[in-house]
Amino acid sequence: MASSCHYCQAPLKQVVADLGLSPVSNHFRTASEAATQGQTFYPLTAMVCEACWLVQLTDVTTPPHFDENYAYFSSYSSSWLDHAKRYAAQMQTKLDLGPQSLVVELASNDGYLLQYFKKAGVRVLGIEPSANVAAYAKEHHGIDCVVDFFGRTLADKLREQGTCADLIVGNNVLAHVPDISDFVAGIPRILAKDGTATFEFPHLLQMLKLGQFDTIYHEHFSYLSLLCIETIFASHKLSIYGAEELPTHGGSLRIYAKHANSSIEDATLAAGLDKIRKNEAAFGLDQVQSYRSFANLPARCKTDLLAFLVELHRTGKKICGYGAPAKGNTMLNYCGIGPELLPFTTDMSPQKQGMVLPGQNIPVYSPDAIWTEKPDYILILPWNLCDEIAAQLHPARDWGAKFVVAVPELEVF
């Protein structure tokens, strides 16, 4: 494979996970489109750069990832809203944000986070490439958004217009940008002298430790460690002064960055940073063997889940899915699970209802279908929201329904 690192251009040699061919995970279609039109499958392979330790997808030209019709609305998840609300309260205290302060969120989505700063009287600005979710933020929360992709060029334009942020937030965006270096280059351009920038991203260490191979999909270009992110930030004169581990998305990191010449300090956050550096070193994130051993895990998940579903099929038990997230599409496509083994899934998002999943063409219904079909088993595809979903589906216990998650390992409860 003749790919080179997206960040440092060193040649890529080590495969982390080869998940075969898969369609782009947000390409939902109608049943009639699925019955009459082909769908393109693209290689889905993650590799690690042995020079900068960036885990990344190999170069594959897939269609543009922002599809207006099926854009993800963050506010559909109540646990994610709670997370955002807690973060906003915490940062207002920590950074002493008031009516003169400005919070800029990169990939501000439907205003799920900025709404809490706005309600507290802090000035906010969203940057959001999807016009329809940005319009929702304006309409429902009165949040102004710049509809564009963030990077060096946009940051220069914003700085000329006087944008100077006391806090820059980026949640689950670093992994999604095709040119991470250009994106990070924009941050110091609009960050106030003693401002803070925080970023949350799924932690590569957790993915590798727990076998979360389904977090690999085409829209997710990079799989980040603190080790790699410190290198990238340092090259743009940003230094990381704190870090925390979060339970979101199966184990995320929140990093706190500042200008390299800023004097901000926080002893608690610095201790967290030190601990995470040590955990990564102990696992061996700077050694190629640590990545190599991950490559066998997806196959174990696949055989366990297939054996379980085939047994249900043979014994006439009913199963359906809950959720239609990107990670579910990676898993179902890698395992080759179609409607014969999983007759339908359900999703809260009206944009997905009535469509079929990319690749395997499993129909997506409203969660109401669970109450009419009364399945014996419900496969929870967004396992990161498992507790929240199991609580919502609790009444299904009345007819004896059991819940199933497939990643990191098969669990029936």
Which residues contact Zn ion by CB under 5 A?
5, 7-8, 10, 49, 51-52, 54
User: Toward Zn ion, which CB reaches closer, 52 or 173?
Assistant: 52
Which two structure tokens, joined as six digits, stand for 259?
């200008």
Range 166-204 burial, b when 16+ CB lie within 10 A, else e: bbbbbbbbbbbbeebebbbbbbbbbbbeebbbbbbbbbb
* Rounded-to-integer distance, Cα 218 and Cα 63, Å: 10
Q: How far is the CB of 52 from Zn ion (least distance, A)?
A: 3
**Calpha distance 256→212 (Å, rounded):** 25
> Cβ of residue 53: shortest distance to Zn ion, in angstroms?
7
Cα-Cα-Cα-Cα dihedral sign, residues 387, 391, 396, 400 = positive
Nearest residue to 275 via CA among 203, 186, 200 = 203
Minimum distance, C-beta of residue 56 to Zn ion, in the bound complex (Å): 8
The residue type of 132 is N
Residue 201 or 308 with smaller CB distance to Zn ion: 201
For residues 232 and 305, which CB has a smaller minimum distance to Zn ion in the complex?
232
Cα(152)–Cα(390) distance, rounded to whole angstroms?
Answer: 43
Closest approach, Cβ 318 to Zn ion, in A, equals 48
Compute the least distance from the CB of residue 406 to Zn ion, in Å.
32
Please name which of 3, 18, 8, 44 lies closest in space to residue 292, comparing C-alpha atoms: 18
Identity of the residue, 49 or 88, whose beta carbon is nearer to Zn ion in the bound complex: 49
Give least dist CB 10 to Zn ion, A: 5
Considering beta carbons, is residue 10 or 310 the nearer one to Zn ion?
Answer: 10
Give how far the C-alpha of residue 366 lies from the chain's centroid of Cα atoms, to the nearest Å. 23
What residues are paired with 402 via a beta bridge? 377
31 vs 234 by CB, closer to Zn ion: 234
Residues 140, 102 contacting (CB under 8 angstroms): no
* C-alpha count within 13 angstroms, C-beta hemisphere, residue 123: 8
Min dist CB 175 to Zn ion, Å, is 15
> Could you give the CA distance from residue 267 to residue 252 in angstroms, rounded to a whole number?
21
Q: Minimum Å distance from CB 280 to Zn ion? A: 16
Query: What count of other Cβ atoms lies within 10 Å of the Cβ of residue 152?
Result: 17
Residue 8 or 210 having the CB closest to Zn ion: 8
* The pairing of beta strand 252-259 with beta strand 238-246: antiparallel
* Residue 279 one-letter amino acid: N
**Is the Cβ of residue 34 or residue 174 nearer to Zn ion in the bound state?**
174
Alpha helices in 104-213 (DSSP H): 114-119, 131-141, 152-160, 180-190, 204-210
Nearest in space to 90 (alpha carbons), one of 263, 244, 272: 244
Tell the smallest beta-carbon distance from residue 111 to Zn ion (Å): 35
Q: Which is nearer to Zn ion, 4 or 40 (CB)?
A: 4
